[in-house]
Structure 1
Amino acid sequence: MLNKLLNKSLRSLFALLVLITGLGVGATMLSMPAHATDQQSSQQQANAKTSDADLWRAVKSGDSGYTTAKGVETGVLINVAGNDGKEVRNKYLTPIMAIAVVGVFGAFLLFYLVNGASKLSHGFSGKMVLRWTKADLWLHWAMAIPCLTLIFTGLNIMLGKYALQPYVGADVWAALIYGSKTIHDYAGPVFIIAWALCVVKWMPMQTFKMYDLKWFLVVGGYINFGPFKGKHPDSGFANAGEKMWFWTLTFFGLFISVSGIMLVLPGLDLPREASMAALLIHGISAIILIAFTIIHIWMATVLSEGGMESMKSGYCDENWAIQHHNLWFDEIKENGTLQYKE
C-alpha cells in the first residue's frame, strides 16, 4: 500500500515537472519572435537614419538626383557653386564696391581741397579750337548717360539694402529696388551699343607713346606745389590718363557687357556655375569702371580749368590745348586742320 502511494506521488511530481518545463519552453518560444522583431525594427531604424544622413550629405555636397523636370541642373537641390559665389559677392565684392565709391571720391575731394584745380598758366585766350566733332559729342553722351544710369542703379542693387533700406519704408524700398533693376536692364543695351561705337571710333587715338611715361611721372601737371608745380608734360590728342581710362573702359566694358547679357537672358539656360561666374565678373568689372569713372569726371571737370567745355561745345580754349595737349595742337597747326570757332 505504501509503495503504491509513493509511486503515485512520484508520477504526479514528474507530471508537474513536465508541465512546468513545457510551460517554460512555450513561453520562451512565444517571446523569441517578439524579441527578434524588436531587434529587426531597431536595425531598420538605424539603417534608415544612416540612409537619410547619406542622402542629405549628398544633397548638401551638390550631388544630382532624379527629377521629371526638364532643364539644366534640375536634379540638383543645393548648388554649392551658387552658395559659394553668393558668399563671395556679399562678403567681399559689396564692401569693396562701397570702399571704391567712397574712397576714390573722398581721395579726389581731399586732393582738390589741398591742391586746387589745374589752372591755365596764361589764362583763357578767348580763341576756341575745334577738338570734337558733333558725332563725337553725340557718341560721348550716348554712352555717358546710360553709363551713369547703370552706375547709380547698380549701386542701389548692390549697396541699397545697407545704405537705404533701413531708412525708408518697405513700400518705398520695394519700388526703388524694382525700379533700379528694371532701368538697369533697359539701360544696358543702350550702353553696349554706344560703348562699341566709341571704342571703334576712338581707338586709333589711344595708342601709348614713350612721352606718356613722363605724364605719369609728373602726375599730368596737375600738382600745384613742390617740384611738380608748373610741369606740363607732352601730350597728343589724348593724354596718358585719358588713354588709361579708354583701355580700362574697353576691356572691362567688354567683360561687363558679356556678363550682363548672360545674366538678363534666361533663354540661354546656363548652368548655375556659369551664371554665378558671370555675376562675379559683372561685379568686379563694375567696381573697376565705377572707380575710373569717378576719376574721369573729377579730372575732366573740377581739376582741369576749361576741360569740360570741349565736351559741351566740341571746342576748347587755345591756351588749354597748348598746355594740356601741345603735341596735338602743333600737329593740327602743321597739317592745316586747325579750326577756330567763328
Structure 2
Amino acid sequence: MLNTSLNKSLRMMFALVALIIGLGLVMPTAHAADDQSSQQQATTRTSDADLWRAVKAGESGYSTDKALEANVLINKAGNEGKEIRNTYLKPAIVLAVFGVFGAFLLFFLVNGPSKLSHGFSGKMVLRWTSADVWLHWIMAIACLILMLTGIFIMLGRHFIAPYVGEGLWAGIISASKFIHDWSGPVFIVSWLICVIKWMPLQLFKLYDLKWFLVVGGYINFGPFKGKHPDSGFANAGEKMWFWTLVIFGLFISITGLMLVLPNLDLPREASIAALLVHGISAVILIAFTIVHIWMATVLSEGGMECMVSGYCDENWAIQHHNLWYDEIKENGSLKYKS
C-alpha cells in the first residue's frame, strides 16, 4: 500500500517537473517568435515608407508598360511645374492684364492723348500697303484670340466656373481649348511672314535713344511737353514691340507646337518646361500688346487710321515719323490718297 502511494507521488512529481521544464522551453521560443514578428512588421512599415518616399521623389521603378516614363509613378517635375504656375504665372497674367491696362488708363486720364501740333492736314499719305494691312489684322486677331482663350484656360476656373453651371463651364473650357489650338497655326504663319517682311524696317538706330529719353513725345506736361524726337518709318517704341514679338512669338510658337502635336513623345520634364516657357512668353506678350494698343489708338491722335486704311495724315507723319517722311519726299515715293 505504501509502495503504491509512493509510486503515485513520484509520478506526480516527475510530471510536475516535466511541465515546468516544458514551459521553460516554450516561453522563450514564443517570446522570440513575437519579437521576430514585431521586427518583421517594423521592417515592413519602414520598407513601405521608403517606397512611398521614393515614389514621391520621382524615382524610377519597374513596369511592364513600355511607354516613355511608365516606370515613374509620380513625376516630381510635374508637381513642381504646377506649383510654379499657380504661385507665379497666374498672378503675373492678372497683373499683365489689369495692372498694365490700369497704369495706362491712369496715364491717359492725367496726361491725355498726344495731339497733332498743327492739327489734321486732310492729306493722307500712303504708309502701309493693302497686303500689310491684311497681314497685320490676321496676326492681330489670331493673337488676341489666343490671349483671350489662354486666359480662360489658365484662370477661368477662378473667375468663370464658380458663377456658371458645370455643363456651361465644360462647354466654355472645351471651346476655348479647341479655338486656342486652331488659332495657333494662323498666328505662327502670319507671325513668320510679318517678321520676314517687316524686319528691315525695325532695325534700331542711334537716334532711337532720344525717343526713349523724351518718352516718344507723348507726355503733355513738364520739360517733356512738345518734344517730338526724330523717328524713321518705325519709332523706337514700335521697334521694341516688334522685337519683343519676334523673340517671345518664337518661344510661344515652338512651345505651343510641343504641347499640342500628338506624335511628339516628350519626357514629362520637357512638357512642363514648354508649358512654363509658353506661359511666361504669353504674360510678356499680353503686357506689350496692351501697351501697343494704347499707344496706337487712344494715346496717338490719328494713329489708328494707319492700320485701317494704310494711310496716315501728313501732319501725323511729319510729327511722329519725320525722318521717314523726309526720305519718301526726297526720293519721290511719297504717295497721297486720291
- TM-score per shorter chain, which class? over 0.9
Distance across 1 between alignment mates of 2:81 and 2:23: 65
Aligned AA (1:298): W
Aligned AA (1:273): E
Structure 1 segment 236-275 matched on structure 2, within 5 A: 236-275=232-271
Q: Which has the larger radius of gyration?
A: 1
Aligned to 1:319: 315
**1:70 partner SS:** coil
Structure 1 segment 204-223 matched on structure 2, within 5 A: 204-223=200-219
Distance across 1 between alignment mates of 2:139 and 2:4: 122
Aligned AA (1:272): R
Is it true that 1:92 corresponds to 2:72 in the alignment?
Answer: no
Is it true that 1:170 corresponds to 2:151 in the alignment?
Answer: no
**2:263 partner SS:** helix
**1:266 partner SS:** coil
Distance across 1 between alignment mates of 2:122 and 2:174: 49
Is it true that 1:296 corresponds to 2:292 in the alignment?
Answer: yes
TM-score (structure 2 length as normaliser) = 0.96
Instruction: Single out whichever of 79-88 and 170-179 deviates more from structure 2.
Output: 170-179
Aligned AA (2:201): M
Aligned to 1:332: 328
Q: Is the 8 A contact 1:146 1:187 kept in 2?
A: yes
Residue 12 of structure 1: how far off its partner (Å): 5.5
Aligned AA (1:58): A
Aligned to 1:38: 34
**2:283 partner SS:** helix
Structure 1 segment 195-234 matched on structure 2, within 5 A: 195-234=191-230
Is it true that 1:122 corresponds to 2:88 in the alignment?
Answer: no
**2:71 partner SS:** coil
**Cα-to-partner distance string for 1:198-246 (whole Å, 9 max, x where unaligned):** 0000000111111101101111011111111111100000000000000
Is it true that 1:189 corresponds to 2:209 in the alignment?
Answer: no
**2:332 partner SS:** coil
Aligned to 2:52: 56
Aligned AA (2:56): K
Aligned AA (1:96): A
Unaligned runs of 5+ in 1: none
**Cα-to-partner distance string for 1:134-154 (whole Å, 9 max, x where unaligned):** 111111111011000001101
**Cα-to-partner distance string for 1:244-265 (whole Å, 9 max, x where unaligned):** 0000000000000001111111
Aligned AA (2:261): L
Distance across 1 between alignment mates of 2:4 and 2:154: 103
Distance across 2 between alignment mates of 1:19 and 1:278: 83
Residue 327 of structure 1: how far off its partner (Å): 0.0
Instruction: Single out whichever of 146-155 and 158-167 deviates more from structure 2.
Output: 158-167
TM-score (structure 1 length as normaliser) = 0.95
Q: Is the 8 A contact 1:71 1:269 kept in 2?
A: no
**1:129 partner SS:** strand
Residue 20 of structure 1: how far off its partner (Å): 1.4
Structure 1 segment 60-139 matched on structure 2, within 5 A: 60-139=56-135
Unaligned runs of 5+ in 2: none
Residue 41 of structure 1: how far off its partner (Å): 2.2
Aligned AA (1:56): W
Distance across 2 between alignment mates of 1:173 and 1:18: 87
Q: How many residues get paired? A: 338
Distance across 2 between alignment mates of 1:36 and 1:29: 11
Is it true that 1:153 corresponds to 2:149 in the alignment?
Answer: yes
Q: Is the 8 A contact 1:208 1:243 kept in 2?
A: yes
Distance across 2 between alignment mates of 1:15 and 1:225: 123
Q: Once the two structures are aligned, what percentage of the paired residues are identical?
A: 72
**1:72 partner SS:** coil
Distance across 1 between alignment mates of 2:22 and 2:230: 112
**Cα-to-partner distance string for 1:260-284 (whole Å, 9 max, x where unaligned):** 1111113111111100000000000
Distance across 2 between alignment mates of 1:22 and 1:72: 67
Change (3 A) 1:12 1:166: closer
Q: Is the 8 A contact 1:137 1:311 kept in 2?
A: yes
